[in-house]
Amino acid sequence: MNFERIQKKKLKYEQNKHKISPITLSSYEKDFELTFTHNSTAIEGNTLTLMETKVVLEDGVAIGGKELREIYEVINHKKAYGYVKKCIAEKKPIDENIVKDLHAILTENIIVGGIYRNEEVRISGAGFTPPAGNEMYMQIKKFYEDLKIKEKELNTIELAAWTHAEFVRIHPFVDGNGRTGRLIMNYQLLLNGYLPVSVAKENRLEYYNALEQYAVNGDLAVFADFVAELEEVQLDEYMKLM
């Protein structure tokens, strides 16, 4: 990962952002919100297409033949991302309450959210088993303590990658951990002045493998590189508008 190159691009973007038309910027942000919602829910098995997601979110039209759960997943994801942006505007660092709130918004009308699991879970196909019982509670509490330490130790890309990877390794909720993880990854990027990123559903295998490297071997580098590449693509895209 060439963090210095990404940092330079971010600085150049910040210095020239005013040259981009507010209407253009708004349309790009709206498009990202839609794409991010579609990809993040599709990775977890939601079958709505990008166009169907757009119709649900922008026109409020229900899609025939789709489960109600799938409709709520995309509606809730948009709301949760809105909550992220609200917290960023208030310059709030991530804490346990914000993560629980995000999960509660994501799972509204689906399951009772914002409550840590009591039962053991397995992630199908994964080479690790998330902690259970008291061990899980201790690890998730340590996660919030470690956030403050990692903010000083890691660069922004690594911090965003670690926040997501460590959170999904612990898997504190029964469901919705992946969506929550991707939201808090973007939370870290936005809070530090970077652009949010979206993991394309077509790249889910590479994404899962990178997370697995961290969960099994404690190797963050592969996932940090993955996030860095997404960030650089985003910056390049926005810099073309200048």
Question: Could you list the active site residues?
Answer: 171
R_g of the chain, CA atoms, integer Å: 18
Report the alpha-carbon distance of residue 234 to residue 8 in Å, rounded: 14
Count of Cβ atoms closer than 10 Å to residue 58 Cβ: 11
Count of Cβ atoms closer than 10 Å to residue 181 Cβ: 22
Q: For residue 241, how far is the Cα from the chain centroid?
A: 25
Beta carbons of 6 and 228 less than 8 angstroms apart: yes
165-166-168-169 Cα dihedral, nearest 10 degrees: 110
Retrieve residue 28's tokens. 């790009």
Retrieve residue 60's tokens. 């409020």
